[in-house]
């Protein structure tokens, strides 16, 4: 079988990719990690919670801090503050479709004003001595998908990699990600920086097939990794031509306990237990008759209680 060698990124996901989860994904084979998005306005006002979101452990490297914003001042101040934490790169979020962010001109809103996107990106590149990367979408809506030109222009102002989610802002998360335009960016002879493909990678087979079909330098996995860090181990095995068995029930429980304890250290027990509630479906997907346990987990308030329910 053909050998594949390509990095796999864990997608930044607000409310999901906290330190505990990132470290587990790294251990299971994710090569590159990125923080949850951080508001440049909040960061430039030195809001404590934003600083916490930037924190990372040495074993998370290569690690990027992702910022979002809509003004040159806030973005450059935030980028400098992020750079002081010495991550490996700063990523600018030009893709978030959420109304609250878009209405302030940040995230994917910038896709309606490409000259501004280029100007602000250039300012961030100049503000820091670290590599700057961009994560964005194909365009604003189906009648406006300028990503090939956008990627060139961002490369010209000095970004060092681009991640493309194969949807428009109008699509939000609906429909199917269109990787053909991601492939077009990669195959543009003017492009020299790495192109990372993102959108709907939900199995090791798809990761390897899309890497091969579209020629991207790396793939990024988001939703399919929620409660399922094994996907990275499976991709790693497949790209070496090996297969990887599904985790046993005991392995799943061990990993949930590990995740709870990691988050207990960084956020306290209560937040760790409450936040885990959204992850059980992923961790126990396909496990026969898990529902009664899940119902009890939804009202558990301590780690010991969760363990008792899971192992009992
Ligand atoms: C719960 C959730 C939170 C997200 N938060 C972020 C974020 O903070 N920054 C970002 O660039 N993208 C964010 N995204 C988008 C993902 O990084 C990714 O681009 C998207 O989910 C498509 O990839 P997937 O099909 O593999 O999930 C988020 C997605 C989800 C589902």
- Residue numbers annotated as active site: 96
In this prediction, residue 243 has a pLDDT band, given cuts at 50, 70 and 90, of: confident
The Cα 290–Cα 106 span in angstroms is 40
Ligand 1 atom closest to residue 225's alpha carbon, by position in its atom list? 26
Does the structural domain 8-239 have CATH classification 3.20.20.70?
Answer: yes
Residue 154: pLDDT over 60? yes
Taking only the tens place, the pLDDT of each residue in 190-213 is: 999 999 999 999 999 999 999 999
Distance from the alpha carbon of residue 169 to the mean position of ligand 1, in angstroms:
13
pLDDT at 147 (0 to 100):
98
Average pLDDT over residues 155-160: 98
Average pLDDT over residues 91-107: 97
Q: SS3 of 192, please?
A: coil
Residue 2: pLDDT over 50? no
The Cα 8–Cα 211 span in angstroms is 10
Q: What stretch(es) of the chain map to CATH 3.20.20.70?
A: 8-239
Sign of CA dihedral 183, 9, 226, 248: positive
Q: What is the pTM of this model?
A: 0.95
Average pLDDT over residues 53-80: 97
Distance from the alpha carbon of residue 256 to the mean position of ligand 1, in angstroms:
21
Average pLDDT over residues 287-303: 97
Question: What average pLDDT does the structure give for the chain?
Answer: 95
pLDDT at 5 (0 to 100):
74
Q: What stretch(es) of the chain map to CATH 1.10.1200?
A: 249-311
14 CB near ligand 1 (under 6 Å): yes
CATH number assigned to the domain covering 249-311: 1.10.1200
135 CB near ligand 1 (under 6 Å): yes
Distance from the alpha carbon of residue 11 to the mean position of ligand 1, in angstroms:
6
Residue 18: pLDDT over 70? yes
pLDDT at 240 (0 to 100):
86
The Cα 297–Cα 277 span in angstroms is 7
Ligand 1 atom closest to residue 220's alpha carbon, by position in its atom list? 26
């Amino acid at each position: 079988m053909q050998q594949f060698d390509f990095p796999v990124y864990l997608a930044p996901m607000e409310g999901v990719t906290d330190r505990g989860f990132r470290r587990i994904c790294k251990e299971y084979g994710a090569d590159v990690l990125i923080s949850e998005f951080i508001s440049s306005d909040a960061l430039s006002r030195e809001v404590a919670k934003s600083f916490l979101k930037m924190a990372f452990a040495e074993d998370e490297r290569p690690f990027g801090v992702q910022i979002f914003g809509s003004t040159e001042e806030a973005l450059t101040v935030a980028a400098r503050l992020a750079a002081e934490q010495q991550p490996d790169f700063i990523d600018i979020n030009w893709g978030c479709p959420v109304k609250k962010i878009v209405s302030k001109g940040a995230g994917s809103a910038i896709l309606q004003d490409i000259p501004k996107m280029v100007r602000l990106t250039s300012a961030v590149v100049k503000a820091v001595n670290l590599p700057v990367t961009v994560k964005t979408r194909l365009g604003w809506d189906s009648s406006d998908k300028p990503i090939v030109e956008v990627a060139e222009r961002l490369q010209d102002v000095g970004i060092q990699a681009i991640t493309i989610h194969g949807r428009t802002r109008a699509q939000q998360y609906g429909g199917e990600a269109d990787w053909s335009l991601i492939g077009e960016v990669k195959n543009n002879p003017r492009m020299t920086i790495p192109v990372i493909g993102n959108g709907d990678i939900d199995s090791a087979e798809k990761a390897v097939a899309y890497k091969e079909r579209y020629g991207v330098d790396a793939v990024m996995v988001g939703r399919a990794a929620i409660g399922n860090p094994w996907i990275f181990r499976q991709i790693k095995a497949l790209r070496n031509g090996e297969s990887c068995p599904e985790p046993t029930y005991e392995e799943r429980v061990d990993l949930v306990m590990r995740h709870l304890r990691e988050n207990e250290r960084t956020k306290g027990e209560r937040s760790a237990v409450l936040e885990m509630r959204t992850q059980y479906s992923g961790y126990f997907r396909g496990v026969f008759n898990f529902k009664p346990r899940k119902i009890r987990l939804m009202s558990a308030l301590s780690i010991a209680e969760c363990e008792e329910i899971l192992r009992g």
